[in-house]
Amino acid sequence: MDKKNYYLALTYDLFVGEEKELMEQATIEKPLCFYSGLGMMLDKFEEAVVGLEMNNTFDFVIPKADAYGEFDDESVIDLPKNIFEVDGKIDNKVLFEGNVVPLQDQEGNRINASIVTIGEDTVTVDLNHPLAGENLHFVGKVLVKREADEDEIKNLMSQHSCGSCHGDCEGEDCESGCCGCK
């Protein structure tokens, strides 16, 4: 793989399953923008697109083993309901089936959990990535590809951990360059 860092902006449709269900899109209005070589994307995704040039199209599949792995039944766990209390109360705007809530492991790492069911005393959460167990089929086009300069990479690494976006940069304006979506 090319060892240079590139700035890329891509459109794509992501399909999963036998029925090729459309799971996600990056559009011309809100492209996927990222810098290669920094671990921001799945390795196999980056390998498939970094060798392409502007206006090249792509159509490739990343097998689940190289994406988010198999679905792990042991990652669906029951937690005590009281850990979701704030000031002694359950916030029903946060605790509802299907919502994704941030949790922390014993080392303080953030883990996103999807709420599966809410019982009397327990909450069943799924710690698997939402695309675990799926082969990822990407179809798209390279809108922009250019070599990234050292200052750009240093700036990105020092002030922002987002790395890639679809133009929503957690409240920041991508035009400001928070993720390179310029």
Tell me what pLDDT residue 166 has: 42
Model confidence pLDDT, tens digit, residues 29-84? 999 999 998 888 999 999 999 999 999 999 999 999 999 999 999 999 999 999 88
Query: For the stretch 35-45, what's the b/e string if a residue is b when 16 or more beta carbons lie within 10 angstroms of its beta carbon?
Result: bbbeebbeebb
Q: How far is CA 124 from CA 99, 113, 166, in A?
A: 12, 9, 30
Res 137 pLDDT > 90:
yes
pLDDT level of residue 179 (50, 70, 90 thresholds): very low
pTM of this prediction? 0.76
In this prediction, residue 163 carries a pLDDT of 42
The tens digit of pLDDT for each residue in 89-98 reads 988 888 999 9
- CATH numbers and ranges of domains, the chain: 6-68+133-176 (3.10.50.40), 73-126 (2.40.10.330)
CA distances from 109 to 105, 126, 147, 159 (A): 5, 16, 33, 20
Instruction: State residue 10's pLDDT score.
Output: 97
| Predicted local confidence at residue 159, as pLDDT | 62
pLDDT tens per residue across span 141-172: 999 999 998 888 888 777 654 444 444 444 33
1 vs 107, which has greater pLDDT?
107
Q: Count H helices and E strands in the chain, helices first.
A: 2, 11
